[in-house]
Structure 1
Amino acid sequence: MTQALKIIPTALLEAYKKSFSTTVQQHFEELRESEISNENFSFYMSVSAVFSSKIEGEDIELDSFIKHKRLGVHYQPDYTQKIDDLYSAYEFAAAHVLTPENLLRAHALLTKNILHRSQQGTVRKGNMFVITDDGKMEYVAATPDKVAYEMQRLNDDIEVLLNSDLEFDEVLFYASMLHLVFVKIHPFEDGNGRTGRLLEKWFLAQKLGAKAWFIQSEKYYYNQHQTYYSNIRKLGLEYDDLNYNQALSFLQMLPQSVML
């Protein structure tokens, strides 16, 4: 890749490549859609929607959601609607090219029952803080005057990467970096984590093909959610002072998820 990136850090790329196991690509090539999937239902898309939602605290089980989507079992709307919305966003992403406009449309879909319509698919205009359950400040995101500019730089980098010839390990490196930089910008009022994980998978699918949707990264992140959040926190408390040299442990999680 010859064109310089604007916001995605590359300093860890060589260290990442040295730590990358060749068996990851072998496992990726062996991925197959589940036999219970059909033209109207994807098992692995359900896995993505359920476990990405569970990371955000949604109380739903994969078995129940599959019965709901595949067999038409009816539950109370509060139990399934947010996961239905995220599933729809994954379906949308699988059918569309990754562009800035489509990323906003995906966010609007997945926040249909989370945010007011005026905030769906709309970059925030207010300050954003991440607070722990016990009331401590965990992270201060990009200030409102910087969000649009930082997202433009990220979108420019996505375009460059989509048009670059990347090796398999480089695709996973940049997918994880897009995920991480996106959640650090924290461009929306809510739904940032869900959108960041979808962006990661979407980029993988654009570069590696539809098989990427079978990677159970969201399930892995949920099963390791304490480590997942710890690795994100390692970069620092405030957006302007983030140290992406501390990101290697986060970047190494995606290859591990391919091995599931």
Structure 2
Amino acid sequence: MTTYFVTGTDTDAGKTLASSALLCAARQRQLTTLGLKPIASGSEATPNGLRNRDALALQAQSFPPVDYPTINPWTFAPAIAPHLAALEAGAVLNVASVTQALSDTLTGTPRDLTLIEGAGAWRVPLNEAEDFADLPRALRLPVILVVGLKLGCLNHARLTAEAIAADGLTLAGWVGSVVDSAFADDSPRFAANVALLKRALPAPCLGIIPHLATADAATAQRYLSLDTLLPLATQEATP
């Protein structure tokens, strides 16, 4: 079983697209997968309860299938910072309860590849004293960083990588995701920015997802590689 925590350089950096694409690529290798979004704000009311679009995308790439509460046990309606959404809902978020739930899921639902997606970016608060970075620290998980490729991304990516290292965690790889269509992915300047990131970030680039007209996992996975994420034994199991 291989498990990673997925964070981003900012809100809307493309974490869910990258996570879903990596899971989709694993499924195409006939591997078992699980995508978790333990805490999500910005959810819609449905006949089955609140549902978050990102969590649903991860659920769709989880195989064998699992129920929604397993994917997203803490779901909040307003699209605001999760710790504020929890306060408004009268819920308590803390590292101990979230990591216990995740540990139970990881133990009870072992998969070849499991991705746990955070909310927002590395330092988004979980409560007044803890933040999302404390989750992978408590679980001792390596981290995948999704870099939202746009103006300012070089600074955001390098600072986030430095913070991950300062917290004593391993950056296992990074994914670039073009989130701004004006940040043309066929220009010399774009290539220079990507080249700088490849030199500056202390982890392999897993791929660059261009700005897609149809931003779905099946399309995005074509631009990514799993080779550095999966143990050799798992890679050799590919038919």
Tell whether the structures are fold-level matches, with TM greater than 0.5. no
Higher helix share: 1
Higher strand share: 2
